[in-house]
Chains A and B, each alone.
Chain A
Amino acid sequence: MAQPPIRIPLSQLARGQRATVECSALDSLPNEHRCLLAAMGMGEQCEVRVCRPGTPCIVQIDRTRLGLPHGIADRIMVTPIESTSP
């Protein structure tokens, strides 16, 4: 039986690690923050790459880089993607 995907807070990803922002990943955030993040590119099913963990947590989505405070990154649940780099 397939294991359900592991979901962890975005803040726990290491530098260079990729992850998918799942549906309801932003649910624990206040509505205005959720809407702003979605409009900035962090919508459902988008893929993020961590450029800098910690505070600020800098992530890349497509060609956009977003800086997030640790408190926000801690509340965004993501599913890590296995690395494809050699």
Chain B
Amino acid sequence: MIPRIALLGNPNTGKSTLFNRLCGLRSKTANFPGSTVEHQVGRCVTKSGQEMDLIDLPGIYSLMLEMPESRLCADCLDGRVGDGRPDAALLVLDANNLSRNLQFAASALRRGLPSVVAINMVDLAERRGLIIDERAASQALGVPVVAVSARSGQGIDRLIEQLTRTAMSSATPNPDKAFPTTEPGSTASAVWAADVFAQIAAHPDEKNDDRMTIHDRLDAAFTHPLLGIVFFVLMMSLLFASIYWLAQFPMEAVDGIFGWLGHGVESMMPAGTLRDLTVNGIVGGVSATVVFLPQILLLFFLLALLEDSGYLARAAFAVDRTMRRFGLPGQAFMPLLSSHACALPGIMATRLIPNHRDRLATILVAPFMSCSARVPVYALLTGVLFAGRPLAAGFAFTGCYVLGGVVGLATAALLRKTILRGPSTPMMLELPDYRLPSIRNALTIAMDRGMLFLKNAGSVILSIAIVMWWLSAYPKSPPNPESVAIELRAVEVAQTDPTAAENLRSQAERLNERTQQSGSFAGQLGAIFQPAFAPIGLDRQLTVAVLTSFLAREVFTTTVFVLAGAGSDADGEDQGTLATVRSATRDDGLPLFTMATSASLLIFFVLAMQCLPTLVVVAKETGSWRWPLLQFCYMTFIAYTAAFFAYRLMS
């Protein structure tokens, strides 16, 4: 049987870096049944081929704290969760902060599991002149101790060797060792740690220098009420500009690959239901999910770099004051900002927030932030609203972002005063040392988050994408008589004017698509739901467009172009296309887009939860469908009410 080893340690001890060093990409994020606190599970393979499963538990300060992470670690060590007690524990201590870390190690060693202690970051300690005596440390603690540097790889081979030996031999800590029975932080524990520290470390005589260090100056700047915010805005602008700019290339590539794949499948398979399902349902559904992957990978890669550098903890303090006014902690700012790129990584990034209520409130308002999928919709509707007035259109575009942000923060304040009422945990954070971030570590984290996204979102989204495809593809409508006539005309002029023939064929195709749209189950649903959308000015066609955009908001523009007979390949910037959309008519001959309808739709799209993948991820992150359902209801209610008033005012 493969031995299971639990990795334990204080936060900022380099535990996860050590885990990544030992397991590489052979790891995955997991949850113990019934727990939302996540941990990593990975496999370490020694040079001799021996395998060990490592469980990277969350970093904690004590096993006795009334916090979910502490309880999870204690339960794991005592075998109350997972597959029973682990075979051994690997305790990771920070060589530069040994006194506090030794107190934690003592409380863990008291549990009696076979253990190995890894004293990490010895390279940094040696630079300060601190020398760790491994032998003395082993004697003092009664378990094997190895000095390592997870970043450079120093001591890793010896650690693996020692870990294998301990896990296989099941040697428990020396029972003669008298560890303090009180918890870390108590006087007895501190005295014991000071005594052990004196035995195992030759430390430099560090003078009590009261002058400001470079660390002090950086901390003062990064957490300054004004300067800190300026730094933060600059840093985030840089981060998101990089994500927008860098992600566009792989996103285009992903889009191209799936387009190529779709065409390939289309040319190989005979026409029919199976081909439609494969091309439009499966390939289209997978593409709709995977296209977000580059943004997610980049976001988590850059966030991991920022976190590793030590900046992120300071930034959280810089924005904490402002966010508290809305009942959110400083750590919520990053996920909310990320949601402007896409709500999915933003919601996944809420894992940085330790308090459950704070995290839930952030998740529930994150979709109010205008994501990149709304951009084509905003571009189309502001273009229709302010034709020939680019400045006004630009203000309206910005206004959409502001409206989403303001309503999101107001909703957060309301949630924290009602259903999520309760004390906010004051932000007491350890500020890690500033250091050069590890690229290797950031890559591992980004890969892990990417895989988690694909696993969590991909499977459900794919199933629902297939259902949505079926709803819009069936029942098949007979060809539109008008399109048949146009096709006949195209055949007639094909010899004399091939371009005109091609245009006629496209026109016929669009007419057929329009007929199919209205005749499909989705179209029929549009007809059924239209009375509900009538008060906000939507006719049957626009109702279909709103309903189909529930899968992904950007689908709205495609549907509108198809309904308006404008083709589906426009990006909202082409004036000719906008003119066609503006001149599109309803079934009763009235204009499809009036000022009132456009304003109402624009507000609806700013505030409504029109994104199925987001709902799926919220369900995964909160561990229940209750929260996404609630979110869908109140966001739709707010959006509908605001759109109703906008429509009435503008009519």
Interface residues of A (CB under 8 A from B): 15-18, 32-33, 35-46, 49, 51-52, 55-56, 58, 62-69, 71-72, 83-85
Contacts and interface: CB of A to CB of B under 8 A. Distances in A.
Interface in B419-443: 426-433
B208 interface: yes
A67 B313 contact: yes
B389 interface: no
25 contacts: A16-B211, A17-B210, A36-B67, A36-B428, A38-B183, A39-B61, A39-B62, A39-B183, A40-B185, A40-B430, A42-B185, A43-B190, A44-B186, A51-B216, A58-B223, A63-B96, A66-B428, A66-B431, A67-B314, A67-B428, A67-B429, A67-B430, A69-B320, A85-B208, A85-B209
B100 A64 contact: yes
Looking at B97, B216, B321, B433, the one whose CB has the most chain A CB atoms below 10 A away is B216
A56 B187 contact: no
B190 A56 contact: no
Contacts of A33: 426, 428
Looking at B66, B317, B432, the one whose CB has the most chain A CB atoms below 10 A away is B317
B164 interface: no
Given A41-B100, A52-B220, 14 more contacts: A15-B216, A32-B67, A35-B65, A39-B61, A39-B65, A40-B428, A41-B99, A44-B186, A45-B187, A51-B213, A51-B220, A66-B428, A67-B427, A84-B210
B346 interface: no
B215 interface: yes
Instruction: Please give me the 6 A-B residue pairs with the lowest Cβ-Cβ distance, nearest first.
Output: A38-B185, A39-B61, A39-B62, A43-B185, A16-B210, A65-B431
Contacts of A85: 208-211
B192 to A, nearest CB: 12
Contacts of A64: 97, 100, 430
B219 A58 contact: yes
B64 interface: yes
Contact of B62 (A18, A35, A52, A71): A35
A28 B631 CA distance: 39
A52 B219 contact: yes
A65 B187 contact: no
A36 B427 CA distance: 11
A66 B426 contact: no
Nearest to A40: B61
B184 interface: yes
Given A41-B100, A72-B428, A67 B223 contact: yes
A56 B225 CA distance: 9
Given A40-B428, A43-B187, A58-B431, A65 B219 contact: yes
A40 B430 CA distance: 8
Contacts of B198: none
Interface string B181-216: 001111101100000000000000000111111011
A40 B67 CA distance: 14
B317 A35 contact: no
B182 to A, nearest CB: 10
A36 B185 CA distance: 9
A68 to B, nearest CB: 6
A14 B426 CA distance: 22
A65 B185 CA distance: 15
A67 B320 CA distance: 12
A56 B320 contact: yes
Contact of A35 (B185, B189, B220, B321): B185
A49 B431 CA distance: 14
Contacts of B104: 39
Contacts of A40: 61, 100, 185, 428, 430
Contacts of B225: 55
B210 A56 contact: no
A62 B219 contact: no
Nearest to A41: B100
A33 to B, nearest CB: 7
B223 A72 contact: no
A53 B398 CA distance: 38
Nearest to A44: B187
A56 B430 CA distance: 12
Contacts of A16: 210-212, 216
Contacts of B213: 51
Interface string B45-87: 0000000000000000110111100000000000000000000
B427 A56 contact: yes
A32 B431 contact: no
